[in-house]
Amino acid sequence: MPDSLMTTYTRLPVTFDRGAGAWLWDSAGKKYLDAVSGVAVCGLGHAHPAVTKAICEQAGKLVHTSNLYGIANQQALGDRLTQLSGMDKVFFSNSGAEANEAAIKLARLHGHNKGIAIPTIVVAEKSFHGRTLATLTATGNPKYAEGVGPLPDGFDQVPFGDLKAVAAAIRPETAAIMIEPIQGEGGIRLVPASFLRELRALCDKHGLLLVFDEIQSGVGRTGKLFAYEWSGVSPDVMTVAKGIGGGFPMGACLATADAAKGMTTGIHGTTFGGNPLAMAVGKAVIDIVSDEAFLARVRDAGIYMKQRLASVADSHSGTVAEVRGEGLLVVLRCVVPAADVVAALRDHGMLAAAASDNVVRLLPPLIVTNAEIDEAVARLDAALTTIEQAAPVAKAG
């Protein structure tokens, strides 16, 4: 029988039918330790009682009414998120790309308000901002744009972390700088806090909006509610998605009152965004993740995991070149293809995801225990040993 699904994904030969916490069970009953979390989405793990309860209770009451009417849960989550982020305004979407579309519109509105006819946004190479036409144009990976042109204008790419290149790219048409404080899909690439501070200074000097895409790095993933908090630099606009719904699709574009000025009635909209069900789940997730003790535990778990991974990397130095990351957003840079490591891990009952050709991402749920981290490290050790035995690494000399 022909496959009815469009062939947009390379799917691995495994299908899951239930989960609990950091664990998943496939259709054959095999158990896996999940260090993907639905790609940084299921921060509270699988089937978290608070998420299940929020979905069930709200679904039994009201799922959708539209943005033609007031939505109490949207107001409540909006108030909470603005308070937690220091932003003033929020627009709720259904996904990360849509949150970024709202941010891009905000940036262009800001430019037009300054009298710029064709506003442009400075973005970074190797970034990822989504798959809609505007967000894939902002994305610094040309492979996503192959064959789908014409692409919208208005983005200038510069190398990530290169302040001189950013400064050189700023021209009279520039309206904003849009960047991931930690690049996710690009391979968990970090920049020093000083770089973000310099970006802030450039934006202030030239009247540009600083837009942080926290879709992967936000909602507790790095051990702070938002990754930019590590740098002490506040953006004018910030987008979140992935982790905020705990698996339920939703996103948000947050902005200062000034940056949100252009968002006047009728300029933007969405049918589903901010519906009562999504907002109930978002509230449940944010209530748990924004708790300082919860975030402190994520930081401890991240430190513990990195320490344990560093010792595994040491004993497999022919296969693993580097461990890097922040909180529970961690990668192994390997000298073998990431896909081989991911496959070997799967055989050993553990899920990890490739981020680029030789980078393996480990994104366990934020609720992971130290015992589960030990288990993950043991499985990684075994998987790397299998790879090394199958293709002995050439020793120098």
Ligand X SMILES: *Cc1c(COP(=O)(O)O)cnc(C)c1O
Least distance from C-beta 58 to ligand X, angstroms? 21
Contact flag: residue 302 with ligand X (CB under 6 A): no
Identified catalytic residue from 91, 92, 128, 195: 128
User: What stretches of the chain show up as alpha helix (H) in DSSP?
Assistant: 37-40, 49-59, 72-85, 96-113, 133-138, 163-169, 193-206, 276-289, 292-315, 338-347, 370-390
- Tell me how far apart the alpha carbons of residues 362 and 233 are, in angstroms, rounded to a whole number: 26
User: Do 236 and 210 meet the contact criterion of CB atoms below 8 Å apart?
Assistant: yes
128 binding ligand X? (CB under 6 A): yes
Judged by CB under 6 A, the stretch of 30-38, 52-60, 96-104, 264-272 that binds ligand X is 96-104
3-state helix, strand, coil in the chain (%, to 5): 40, 20, 40
Candidate residues 82, 120, 126, 185; the one interacting with ligand X per rule CB under 6 A: 185
Nearer to ligand X, 55 or 136 (CB): 136
The total of other beta-carbon atoms located within 10 Å of residue 194's CB is 11
Count the residues of the shown chain that bind ligand X, applying the rule CB under 6 A: 15
82 makes contact with ligand X (CB under 6 A) = no
- Contact (Cβ atoms closer than 8 angstroms) between residue 244 and residue 218: yes
Tell me if residue 195 is catalytic: no
- Indicate which single residue of 81, 188, 215, 350 sits in contact with ligand X (rule: CB under 6 A): 215
Q: Which residue among 73, 85, 137, 216 contacts ligand X (CB under 6 A)? A: 216
97 binds ligand X (CB under 6 A): yes
Nearer to ligand X, 21 or 96 (CB): 96
Helix axes 370-390, 338-347, angle to 10 degrees: 110
Which is closer to ligand X, CB of 22 or CB of 241? 241
**Which residue among the candidates 34, 155, 213, 283 is catalytic per the annotation?**
213
Query: Does the annotation mark 213 as catalytic?
Result: yes
CB atoms within 10 A of CB 388: 15
128 is catalytic: yes
- Give the active site residue among 242, 283, 294, 306: 242
The β-bridge relationship of strands 353-356 and 359-362 is antiparallel
Q: CA 356 to CA 202: how far, in whole Å?
A: 30
DSSP state of 121: E
Alpha-carbon gap, residue 313 to 333, rounded angstroms: 10
Of residues 215 and 377, the one with the C-beta less far from ligand X = 215
Whose tokens are 């300054």? That residue is 114
Binding part of the chain for ligand X, among 94-102, 148-156, 281-289, 363-371 by CB under 6 A, reads 94-102
**Cβ-contact 22, 365 below 8 angstroms:** yes
Is residue 42 part of the contact set for ligand X (CB under 6 A)? no
Q: Which of 34, 101, 180, 229 binds ligand X (CB under 6 A)?
A: 180
CB 364 within 8 A of CB 22: yes
| 105/348 with CB nearer ligand X | 105
Which pair of structure tokens corresponds to residue 322? 């580097």
Name the residue nearer to ligand X (CB basis): 154 or 184.
184
The catalytic site residues sit at: 128, 213, 242
Contacting residues toward ligand X, per CB under 6 A: 95-97, 100, 128-130, 180, 184-185, 213, 215-216, 241-242
